[in-house]
Structure 1
């Protein structure tokens, strides 16, 4: 094996996925974080009180997926574990992107009393996470943003869409 070959070697995708899945399993077992699918998510969302869901992507798409998974329980602990916490693995997390206007994974999705509060997308420095987390705790429930084209009923004076 040459030096160039050694530097460009990557473990097989299955090894990366298995190790990442083990990390997520540890989050669930050690930290009491719920592991949700789509049905479980709706039940989690409908519960009274505040919650946060870690939406994670495939581990080989970006290192920040690993980093965010490691940071998540630390963030919960330093902020007082005052939210119900859950995670959604890649095969389930992607189903929520359009519904909540999330453009980038990993993301932290904040919910309260069955409604949307906000999200923090991507990886941030620690101080930014703590600041944004505090903001999410104070924000009211609102309509989730959507991804798409804005639609307007405004038209010019020569518009005859009403007949």
Structure 2
């Protein structure tokens, strides 16, 4: 069962949920930058709900410099292993199919403001 704040990302914001690695490949291969949200288990990890609130705010702060999708539980472990981003919740950044980096666990806002531009190669916000 998904957390209501994660469900909101799909229902209100229209973010896709990626169920297969093929869908991950297709989504991340599109032009531009992308962020995949690996929620983890919201029942065991209290930071998951926080991350579901933080990521839309980050997307707005960075003026939609990246689009977002949710990684389904079915492929979460495989994707975490493939990217070595093992801790959840996690934000995995890609550009045109290439994995750029990850931010694991909840961070201070200033950390996001420093790390995301570095990962995406953007001028600092």
Do Structure 1 and Structure 2 share a fold, with TM-score over 0.5? yes
Q: Flag the structure with larger Rg.
A: 1
Gaps of 5+ in 2: none
Report the number of matched residues: 121
Give CA deviations for 1:104-159 in whole Å, capped at 9, x if unaligned: 111110001111110011110111112111111208xxxxxxxxxxxxxxxxxxxx
Confirm or deny that 1:28 pairs with 2:20. no
Higher relative contact order (CA 8 A, sep 6+): 2
Gaps of 5+ in 1: 1-16, 140-163
TM-score (norm 1): 0.68
Is contact 2:33-2:96 (8 Å) kept? yes
Partner residue, 1:63: 46
CA distance in 2: counterparts of 1:70 and 1:89, whole angstroms: 17
CA RMSD in angstroms comes to: 1.6
Alignment of 1:2-151 (within 5 A): 17-18=1-2, 20=3, 22-38=4-20, 39-138=22-121
TM-score (norm 2): 0.87
Report the CA distance between 1:35 and its aligned residue: 1.4
CA distance in 1: counterparts of 2:5 and 2:90, whole angstroms: 17
Between Structure 1 and Structure 2, the one with more strand by share is 2
CA distance in 1: counterparts of 2:111 and 2:73, whole angstroms: 24
Report the CA distance between 1:85 and its aligned residue: 1.1
